[in-house]
Chain A
């Protein structure tokens, strides 16, 4: 039984030490407030909106529905991990820019992580498959069309350059 915990998180291939925090601290809040990785956004806090989506062992996960301590000994990838050397945007991120697939940008990290997983599993998804995969990511600004276009474009570019998904 414990009311404080300390643990190590592997995020984007870096080890971060989280010391002496409450076990109730959500993964989303550890990433943002303890590690300073504010790319992951907090929306509904009950798993419905998808803004907090990160990859854990290569699979999309709601970071608002996981305790930070539960994510120890796993490989986590956040939106900050998508860029290449010298902060080069990934082909997926480039496609989002070209297709105006973001306006306020709040849903965008969640969209990108979900799309990263989709393209790793299904390199040439149909538009229907893209829409289904994104059904758990809500956007209030764009109306989704440009997001689907962007992902479709990214699927056509070199799949290796889309950023590797670390799998368990």
Chain B
């Protein structure tokens, strides 16, 4: 269980990285970008991928490791490590769902090296950050030698472990909307053991008015399809209401009826569907409570 031989390239500037990436892509060589390595190294160690070239992006840490308060948005560099997001004060204040999600990611050692960019590009549909990005419809900035483009998260995740990133592109930063007033967020996940991949995971965001009634709500669910699923459009019945836990349970059971998750050795389809409903209800109820307390 050692990687197949590869050429290693370690760029020192983003310009260099994009230049070489373009060149290698044109030459028809397969390239894998190495960030934290917590997803890619297992893939290489098990020879699930045998790229010609591995491009180590860690030389770009100074440029791509940052957390920046940009008013309505929090911008996060793709090389920012999980442990940094877990402990950053600005994240707990303006993006509390990210703080909560980070504590669910893997284990301490994984969070030392793993990056937000790597997690998003790896695009495991039961992973926490792809779920949060989908929930908040984060803006993903992709750079290639010739162009920079920004796409919403909901267009970024295409299928199981597949994203919209082209072979000559690097994800450089992600922007999340900052938590508005009278808002709450929550993430609920079920895994066999703490730190395992979720069997199902739900994230919710709720904004209330000064009477505590819901004015805006969002819901996303992971582990039940090839990508995280944004269910926010189905929350219309909640608008203007003060739902009880029972109301939430009922609505979630209805909207999760239409999910068609695959079964596997960890959980069959019916169980995942049931879990999705329960976790969604809890996430929404918790987000609502936090929104009402936040006022």
Contact = CB atoms under 8 A, between A and B. Distances in A.
Given A22-B5, A29-B2, A46-B1, A133 B41 contact: no
Given A23-B54, A24-B6, A65 B113 contact: yes
Nearest to A110: B109
What DSSP secondary structure best describes chain A's contact surface?
mixed
A59 B58 contact: no
B195 to A, nearest CB: 5
| Chain B residues touching A, majority SS | mixed
Contacts of B151: none
A1 interface: yes
Contact of A24 (B3, B110, B193): B3
Contacts of A29: 2
Contacts, number: 96
Contacts of B212: none
Given A45-B45, A70-B56, A61 B112 contact: yes
Interface residues of B, number: 32
A64 B45 CA distance: 9
Nearest to B81: A59
Contacts of B161: none
Contact of A65 (B8, B37, B53, B194): B37
A20 interface: no
A119 to B, nearest CB: 13
Interface centre among B1, B5, B58, B113 (most CB of A within 10 A): B113
Contacts of B110: 47, 62, 136
A135 B108 CA distance: 8
A5 B46 CA distance: 22
Interface in B36-58: 37-38, 41-42, 44-46, 53-54, 56, 58
Nearest to A136: B107
A79 to B, nearest CB: 14
Given A1-B53, A23-B8, A132-B194, A65 B42 contact: yes
B244 interface: no
A22 B8 CA distance: 9
Given A23-B54, A65-B38, A66-B37, A133 B3 contact: no
Interface of B: 1-9, 34, 37-38, 41-42, 44-46, 53-54, 56, 58, 83, 106-110, 112-113, 193-195
11 contacts: A29-B2, A46-B41, A47-B41, A60-B109, A61-B109, A65-B42, A69-B8, A70-B37, A135-B194, A135-B195, A136-B108
